[in-house]
Structure 1
Amino acid sequence: MTEIRHIVFDIGKVLIHYDPNLPFSRIIPDADERADFFQRVCTHDWNIEQDRGRSWADAEALLIEQFPEKEAHIRAFRTYWAEMVPHAYDDSVAIMTGLIDAGRDVTMLTNFAADTFTEARKMYPFLNLPRGVTVSGEVGLIKPDVAIYERHVADFGLSPEHSVFIDDSLPNVEGARAAGWQAVHFTGAEKLKADLQGLGVSF
């Protein structure tokens, strides 16, 4: 078994909850209208470009030009972003902090817009505990592009074969493996604990 020396956490849906429906269930109460808004207007593909580094001003302008009648709803996506991340997953956070307390090398690698990540760090101070973080919006790369894993390795001096990545997204897990890392698919804290123990990581 290859020794694990570096443990790398994703953030959204691993350490903190994320759901755009939370504020929008109030902003657009009709479920069908809300689903249509996310499918046609503020789509996943649109949002991921902010994770790649596009500014919110540019993102909003692009959609408002296409959907001027939806301007208030488009602007609400950033305005009420904090409501989309209402709580941490305490059991997962406990695993991360336990690893840090045990002297393990812990970093984070996340698809996150730069400014909302700054906000998240204020909301959730435990995001400041790991040795460091690669934020997609700051480096202009996003998972599962192998380049972002290679950037993380270079910036933090990791050995890929001795690194394990934890992410709720299977494509992102596969991206880490393509970069030569070990990786586990996060589905819950108990399974994560068992997966880490199976890799010889005790804490």
Structure 2
Amino acid sequence: MIVLYGMTDSGNCYKPRLLLAKLGIPFTHVEVSSHTGDTRKPEFVAKNPNAMVPLLELDDGRRIAESNAILLYLAEQTRFLPTDRYQRGLAYQWLFFEQYSHEPYIAVRKALLTFPERAKDATPERLAQTLERGNKALGVMNRRLAEAPFFAGDALSVADIALYAYTHDAEKGGFQIDAYPAVATWLKRVEADPGHVRIDWLPG
């Protein structure tokens, strides 16, 4: 059985759990938390020298790190990765957007406000910057979702799973989702897709 190393409260770790649940693929979850220093312990660094989660370990011992890379691996030959070349390119586009223009602000601002160990970094300047750039990302998403039901077109894809992970609880970081009606509607659309599970879901 494959093993997913991750933190239950991490959006990046939620992404592969959500896709695995939708695909009905059995897996073992191993909690490895950066809050407690688990990701920096030698036994985990031996598995992932970058000392980060999530990390997917296959049946044969091979491993894949980085949340969106794991999504692409799992989505191969499923409905979550478009077969149309252009739509697949759009899915890749939004995966890069999520990691470069979305997660560093929306996820980081939530972490600054909710994780005690990050409080020292929650300077007024950092909070203002993450709020401004996070709202810019939500605005870009809102414009796209006013044109199409999902980021790669008419069907839910890995791009939606990646962007959902930190957007669905962005209000914990002080973002007003109601100000972006297309995003708010899209969140409900993603949640209505078969096999959806919440961020605190773990395999039984």
Which protein shows a greater Rg?
Answer: 1
TM-score, L = length of structure 1 = 0.33
**1 or 2 for the larger relative contact order (CA 8 Å, sep ≥6)?**
1
Relative to the length of structure 2, the TM-score reads: 0.33
